[in-house]
Amino acid sequence: MRLLTRYLAKEIYSSVAIVFAGLLALFSFMDVIQELHDVGQGGYHLSDALIYVALIMPTHIYELFPLAALIGSIFAIMQMANNSELMVYRSSGASLYQMIFAMLKIGFPLVLLCLLFGEVIAPPSDHLAQELSLKAKNAQVTLKEFRSGVWAKDEHNFVNVRNVLPDTSLLNISIYEFDDSYHLRAITFAKRAIYDHSDQWLLEEVKQTRFGGQGTSTNNQPSLLWHSTLSPSILNVLLLLPEKMSSWDLYQYTKHLTENHQKTGRYEIAMWNKLIYPLAVLIMMLLALPFSAYNRREGGVSGKIFIGIVLGLSFHFGGRLFSNLGALNEWQPMLSATAISWLYLVIALLMMWRTERR
């Protein structure tokens, strides 16, 4: 059985690598075509577009892992079945359970590799790509949570940020301070804010209006230190889609929202998705195992590969559908994130049971 596992691993790894090469070439070509529309804007040149495409490639690798594992495994297994190699192994005593264990053992390194890309490589690489694009285009990001910018709750304060520059400095900040009874106590407006890495921001060109029992007072200051739990890392979550953040960043931001009594559903679902998604590689490889019962009369290899592509794409888009429905209907986050995985695991087990009965 060790010989079968080593040989099967060699075939699957080489097939997955070939599938990855094809998929990444396709996605990179599409990304380059899309970026060509922005070439010439500010200082954004073709070289910048190519670097941008290279930097977002780890995100594509992470997203394509289950699909590549499924297609690569199907191709490798069907090639072995076509050459009657699997029939020889099964005839020599290899049971279905041994085949399942072999597939799980082969898939474990792929799970670790997927986890590495999703947690360590892709998030900073994607953030660097966005920063490079913004700097090259001489642009600033307008946060679009609302038309008036992003609103954040910071203890008893409500903060409105209109613009964020690529260096994470803020423009046009309004801070609304409330007392314990939620009565408006002061409004602070600043043209610019710079984070000084000690849990405080340096506000510039400050205009502060205070409300008291004896009326209002206005005070203009060139600069003012502002202590806040908001940090550039938290604001970066608002700049990027939750699905592109690491699970640790999502956990920190979810904790921040919980402490401020705000809804966390969308970010909790994204966090559980990041934790569960690498395990989808194992499910996809188990889903490929029933294709070992290859019969020429049921269609060629290309037809089976097409079925694998359909299954992989339906898994990908089905996962997004469940996540969005869970966020809209406030379902339990872990259930929303894992529902599609459980469904496809049941499908894989049913297909293996049907194949074994035949």
pTM of the full structure: 0.74
Single residue among 175, 208, 228 that ends a domain in this structure:
228
Q: Is residue 342 part of a domain?
A: yes
Q: Is residue 240 part of a domain?
A: no
Same domain flag for 133 and 6: yes
Q: Is residue 37 part of a domain?
A: yes
Same domain flag for 55 and 204: no
**Mean of per-residue pLDDT scores for the chain:** 83
Strand bridging mode 157-164 / 150-154: antiparallel
Same domain flag for 316 and 223: no
Domain that holds residue 216: 156-228
Same domain flag for 83 and 219: no
Same domain flag for 120 and 31: yes
Same domain flag for 128 and 162: no
Same domain flag for 133 and 270: yes
Q: Compute the average pLDDT of residues 271-294.
A: 85
pLDDT (tens digit per residue) in 71-103:
999 888 888 777 777 666 666 666 777 888 888
Single residue among 183, 205, 228 that ends a domain in this structure:
228
Same domain flag for 49 and 129: yes
Same domain flag for 220 and 336: no
Q: pLDDT class for 144, splitting at 50, 70, 90?
A: very low
- Of 204-208, 224-228, 240-244, which has the strongest mean pLDDT? 204-208
Q: Is residue 233 part of a domain?
A: no
More confident residue, 155 or 115: 115
The residues, any chain, with a CB within 8 Å of residue 335's CB and separated by 6 or more, are: 326
Same domain flag for 174 and 105: no
Same domain flag for 107 and 190: no
Q: Compute the average pLDDT of residues 123-129.
A: 86
Could you give the CA distance from residue 11 to residue 343 in angstroms, rounded to a whole number?
A: 27
Q: Compute the average pLDDT of residues 38-42.
A: 81
Q: Is residue 9 part of a domain?
A: yes
Q: pLDDT class for 240, splitting at 50, 70, 90?
A: low
Q: Compute the average pLDDT of residues 10-22.
A: 93
Same domain flag for 131 and 207: no
Got the DSSP string for 196-210?
A: -SSSEEEEEEEEEEE
Res 142: pLDDT: 45
Number of domains in the chain: 2
Q: How far is CA 309 from CA 19, 69, 75, 257, in A?
A: 11, 11, 11, 38
* Residue from 16, 4, 6 nearest 284 by CA: 16
User: Which of 146-150, 162-166, 258-262 shows the lowest mean pLDDT across its residues?
Assistant: 146-150
